[in-house]
């Protein structure tokens, strides 16, 4: 529930991404592929609920996880906060709606 509320909030995308990283990273401040997969599976619940599962659904989860971890050097078990934010700033297909929602919220508020 916290993930969904975070994503729907009016906060800036970077603040949302930082919160999600803090919720899911381990004691070494590293986000593992498994934890990212769990996050994305939770995000998909929202896209399924609003009828966008075909465009932003479960089939995209494995590829999205792979895209985050593809640049890791051998032996690394996860990504740091900076790497996670950098990856999200490239708007992976499964999550591109987050930045779009933010722009819509800004347009509606007139700022």
pLDDT tens-digit series, residues 45-92: 888 777 777 777 788 899 989 888 886 655 568 899 999 999 988 878
| Count of domains forming the chain | 1
Residues forming beta bridges with residue 79, ordered by sequence position = 31
Residue 93 lies inside a defined structural domain of this protein: yes
Identify the domain containing residue 67 by its residue range.
Answer: 32-102
Residue 108 lies inside a defined structural domain of this protein: no
DSSP 10: S
What is residue 79's three-state secondary structure?
A: strand
The pLDDT assigned to 30 comes to: 92
Residue 45 lies inside a defined structural domain of this protein: yes
Structure-block tokens of residue 26: 């381990």
Structure-block tokens of residue 102: 């933010």
Instruction: Kindly report the CATH number assigned to the domain that includes residue 50.
Output: 1.10.238
**Radius of gyration of the chain from Cα atoms?**
14
The pLDDT assigned to 33 comes to: 92
Structure-block tokens of residue 28: 């070494």
pLDDT digits (tens, 9 = 90+) for 6-40: 888 888 889 988 999 999 899 999 999 999 999 88
Residue 49 lies inside a defined structural domain of this protein: yes
Residue 25 lies inside a defined structural domain of this protein: no
The pLDDT assigned to 74 comes to: 56
**Contact assessment for residue 72 and residue 96, using Cβ atoms and an 8 Å cutoff:** no
Task: Report whether pLDDT(96) > 80.
Answer: no
What is residue 92's three-state secondary structure?
A: coil
Measured between alpha carbons, how far is 32 from 83 in angstroms, rounded to an integer? 12
Burial of 24 (0-12, 13-18, 19+ CB in 10 A): middle
Residue 60 lies inside a defined structural domain of this protein: yes
Residue 91 lies inside a defined structural domain of this protein: yes
Residue 95 lies inside a defined structural domain of this protein: yes
Q: What pLDDT band is residue 107 in, cutting at 50, 70 and 90?
A: confident
């Amino acid at each position: 529930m916290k993930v969904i509320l975070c994503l729907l909030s009016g906060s800036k995308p970077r603040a949302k991404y930082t919160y999600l990283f803090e919720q899911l990273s381990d004691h070494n401040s590293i986000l593992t592929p498994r934890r990212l997969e769990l996050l994305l599976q939770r995000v998909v619940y929202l896209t399924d609920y609003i009828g966008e599962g075909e465009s932003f659904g479960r089939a995209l989860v494995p590829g999205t996880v792979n895209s985050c971890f593809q640049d890791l050097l051998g032996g690394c078990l996860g990504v740091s906060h900076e790497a996670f934010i950098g990856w999200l700033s490239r708007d992976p297909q499964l999550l591109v709606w987050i930045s779009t929602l933010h722009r819509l919220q800004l347009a509606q508020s007139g700022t």
